[in-house]
Amino acid sequence: MNKKNLLEKIICELEQRLVILTHSAADADRESQQEQNVPLSQIDHRALEASMLASAQLERVREAQQVIQVYRQLPVRPFQLGDEVQPSALVELEHDGRSYYVFLGPQGAGTVVDFDGHPVEVITPHSPLGEELLEKQVHDEIFVESPRGIQEYRIKSIA
């Protein structure tokens, strides 16, 4: 698996999200400036609420731009057998008899991309799974507490 291509797919997915967020922010800004949001009385807060929504949407756009910038500058590190899981690792896990892939990224948790026919989910070192994966090696088993109880994972490969 070529991690540079994986990184490009993650950036592409993040950019698609940014487009959606940008449109939402523009819509919220237009809404906040419409005449119908002019307060009719002292207790009418439509304009304030619309303005707060527009401001929050704009902040989400800024955060998304920062995440994309972080990924554009992320060095792609190759991992060898015996290396420990560190940020930028693509990890194949076995859970309940099935394999799945996670990319340990600096941000952008929850992003899922299709890569070489497999879904790859971005997790961060701050997530319960990411925290447990750090500094583990191939064949190590980890245990993660979840709402469904303790989940067991085995590391099959690190790239």
The three-class DSSP label of residue 19 is helix
The verdict on 18 and 66 lying in the same domain is yes
Q: Which two tokens stand for residue 131?
A: 């925290």
> pLDDT tens string for the chain (159 positions)?
689 999 999 999 999 999 999 988 888 777 767 655 555 666 656 667 777 888 898 899 999 999 999 999 999 889 998 999 999 999 999 999 999 999 999 999 999 999 999 999 999 999 999 999 999 999 999 999 989 999 999 999 999
| pLDDT tens-digit readout, 77-87 | 899 989 999 99
Alpha-carbon distance values, 31 to 12, 48, 92 (Å): 29, 11, 45
Contact 6, 105 (CB under 8 A): no
User: Last residue of some domain: 21, 45, 72?
Assistant: 72
- The total of structural domains in the chain comes to 2
Write out the residue range of the structural domain in which residue 133 sits: 90-158
The verdict on 52 and 106 lying in the same domain is no
For residue 74, give the nearest of 105, 108, 112 by alpha carbon.
Answer: 105
For residue 51, give the nearest of 81, 67, 30, 79 by alpha carbon.
Answer: 30
Q: Where are the alpha helices (DSSP H) in the chain?
A: 3-32, 46-72, 128-133
User: Last residue of some domain: 72, 100, 115?
Assistant: 72
Within-domain flag for 129: yes
Alpha-carbon distance values, 34 to 22, 37, 55 (Å): 19, 6, 15
Within-domain flag for 30: yes
The verdict on 60 and 10 lying in the same domain is yes
